[in-house]
Amino acid sequence: MALCSTALSLRPLSSPTRPPHSPKFPYLSPVPAALFCHRQRPAQTLAMAPLRRLSGTAARASASQKVEEGTVPAGEERAEWGKVSAVLFDMDGVLCNSEELSRMAAVDVFADMGVSVTTDDFIPFMGTGEANFLGGVASVKGVKGFDPEAAKKRFFEIYLDKYAKPNSGIGFPGALELIMECKSRGLKVAVASSADRIKVDANLAAAGLPVSLFDAIVSADAFENLKPAPDIFLAASKNLNVPQSECIVIEDALAGVQAAKAAQMRCIAVTTTLSEEMLQPASPSLIRNEIGSISIDDVLYGGHSVDKEKRKEM
């Protein structure tokens, strides 16, 4: 699937730990490794301010009254959250427990070059695409003559051979269930990833998630600007024929949350990769532990529970 993208001009994101400037990687905004959160770390659930809301108690009371009276039109939700027609799933760290595996494969790539790195060295560059993911560390380490395309090719060889074998169980618990629940509610679903298509297909196969589940798959191959630029999410919205204001993004990486915000989409962030404290400044609409912790109420109503009988009326 070939998608066209208009290159966007974005100012570099500020960061206290930005690596040396490189024209090849202008959008990188490193994440301090100290704020990295392993999946096993407990995290509190936090509801952040949604992008669209009415003011104060009156707005909540008005929305609740509409639900109670059954006056909310079919397919729409309470006013402070807004209509939802599509869900855009990031892949690494959201659908697939593959972030650590990707870093391990990247360490192998640098070992082939005789450069000693650790998996933590790659944390600041997660979610930005393989060329930036590898090239960012090469820049920080001062690797001479680094070839991003050759490194990417070797990365995919190692990753597919060692870490992403078909049906190897790398899918997060609850991922398939949430996808199917979204589809049963009439929502369109898409994968929107900064990874190349070869990795997207391998990860979905390893997670046991058929490509046919999704209405669209948007990968990095056709884009010059990857996350935190909004291009991938905007292309997914266009491909699904759904306004960006009606799209919900599910992301784990800071770059992904920033991309969703730049695309003017609501975003549910999960703490499978970064801590809640690291994600909060990017202002996701909601924060949950992992995809299995995201309910259909989170998607449709911004985390507000709605009585089952009232849902039938809606």
For the four alpha carbons of 209, 242, 70 and 66, in that order, the dihedral sign comes to: positive
Structure tokens at 73: 């039109």
Q: Is 92 in the active site?
A: yes
Q: Is 196 in the active site?
A: no
Contact between 291 and 95 (Cβ < 8 Å): yes
CA–CA–CA angle 123, 4, 270 (5° rounding): 30
CA 273 to chain centre: 11
User: What b/e readout covers 69-88, taking b as 16+ CB neighbours within 10 angstroms?
Assistant: eeebeeebbbbbbbebbbbb
Q: Which residues are catalytic?
A: 90, 92
